[in-house]
Amino acid sequence: MKKQGIIFISIGASWLVVMIFFAILGNYHYERDYQSYWNLAEKASTIQQKAVYMDKFVAGFKNKGFEGDYNAIFLKTPNNSFDKNLEALQSLKIRLDEIQKMNVASFEYQTAIQQITAQEQGEAQDMLDVLSGIWWKNNYIFLWEWFAGLQVAACIFFIITGSVKIGGGLKKINQTMKEAERQSLLNKLG
C-alpha cells in the first residue's frame, strides 16, 4: 500500500514539475517572440516607435500556421478566431500609420492618440488573450487553458490518493484520527 502511495505521489509531483518547466519555457518563448513587442509599443512615447513595435508584433503572428485557427476546440466564434483578431490588430496598425501623417499640434491628432492609448490599455486585452491562447494551443497544448487545469487537478488527485495510501488508506486514517481524539480527551481528564 505504501509503495503504491509513493508511486502515485511521484507521478503527480513529477508531472507537475514537467508542467512548470514547460510553462516557464513557453512563457519565455511567447514573451521573447511576441508579447515583448506589444509591451514595447505600449511604452513607446512616439507614434513612430509604437508603429515599429506594432509591425514586429503583427509580423510575429503572420505565416506561423495560425490562420483559420481558433482559441477553442468546440465553441468556435468570430471572437476567438485568429483571423478576426489579426484583422482587428491590423486595423490598429493602420490607425497608427494614419496618425503618423497628422499634424502633431492638431486636435485630431490628440484625439487619435487618446483612442490608441485607450485601446492599448485594456480594450485590446481580449484580443491579446485570444492570440496568446492560439499560440499556446499550437505550441504547448498540454498547457493550454482548461486542458492544463484538468491536468493539474489530476496531479493533485494523484498526490492526495498517494498520501492516503501511504497513511494506510481511509479506514486506517479514520482509526488514527479517532485514537488521537480519544487520547486528547483522556489527557484533558487525567
pLDDT (tens, 9 = 90+) of the chain, 190 residues, equals 789 889 999 999 999 999 999 999 999 999 999 999 999 988 888 888 988 998 899 999 988 899 999 999 999 999 999 999 999 888 888 888 888 888 888 888 888 777 777 766 666 888 899 999 999 999 999 999 999 999 999 999 999 999 888 877 667 767 777 788 888 877 887 6
182-183-187-190 Cα dihedral, nearest 10 degrees: 70
133, 136, 61, 138: which is closest to 92 by C-alpha?
61
